[in-house]
Amino acid sequence: MAEQEKTFDFLNPFISVDLGLSDWADGIKTWASANRDAFQPTKRVINEMIVGIDTLFQSVPPIIMLIILALIAWQAAGRRVAILVIVSMSVLGFLAPNAWGLAMTTLAIVVSSVILCVLIGLPLGILTGKNDLFEQLMRPFLDTMQTIPAFVYL
């Protein structure tokens, strides 16, 4: 079958746009797969952290967890958000009791991610603020991450 000539399609304008990022991403994926063993220690640490936090969350009775989440929401965002948390988590608990454990696992993943981001980002931010050379090295990465949607580099 002959290749069709690429023309601009007003209804689907993105079909002809090829930035070549897929080849670059495939190369990174291939490299990461080939060097999988190097990432195993990091994977183990992160996995243990997630499992530990998940075990903690799963061991707390749902009503106590609901109160804790509502108090955190109230302190962070106010009374309306706390009420929303109480209502939404109660609906989850009553309508889909099996989903409570999955919700706690998801919450454990999110909490683990926040902890890792703070542990990595805080020292980098302090170093960037105190060291002009390091700030110059970080600036292109930070500018790039600001302009690219988060789902691309996450």
Q: Does a structural domain hold residue 85?
A: yes
Q: Does a structural domain hold residue 77?
A: yes
* Cα-based angle 84, 87, 89 (whole degrees, multiple of 5): 100
145 C-beta neighbours (distance < 10 Å), count: 13
C-alpha distance across the termini of the chain, in Å: 38
Between CA 117 and CA 53 the distance in angstroms is 16
Q: Does a structural domain hold residue 25?
A: no
Query: Residue 93: exposed, middle, or buried by beta-carbon count in 10 A (0-12, 13-18, 19+)?
Result: middle
**Token duo for residue 104:** 């706690």
Cβ contacts of 64 within 8 Å, gap of 6 or more: none
**Per-residue pLDDT, 1:** 47
**Per-residue pLDDT, 13:** 64
Total count of domains within the chain:
1
Q: Does a structural domain hold residue 28?
A: no
Instruction: Give the global pTM.
Output: 0.72
Q: Does a structural domain hold residue 15?
A: no
Q: Does a structural domain hold residue 39?
A: no
Q: Give me the domain span that covers residue 62.
A: 44-153
Q: Does a structural domain hold residue 66?
A: yes
Q: Does a structural domain hold residue 78?
A: yes
Q: List per-residue pLDDT tens for the chain, 154 residues long.
A: 455 556 666 677 666 666 677 788 889 899 989 999 998 999 999 999 999 999 999 999 999 999 999 999 999 999 999 999 999 999 998 888 889 999 999 999 999 999 999 999 999 999 999 999 999 999 998 888 888 877 676 6
Q: What are the helix and strand counts (H, E) for the chain?
A: 7, 0
Q: What amino acid is encoded at 65 in this protein?
A: M
Q: What is the DSSP letter of 5?
A: P
Q: What amino acid is encoded at 81 in this protein?
A: V
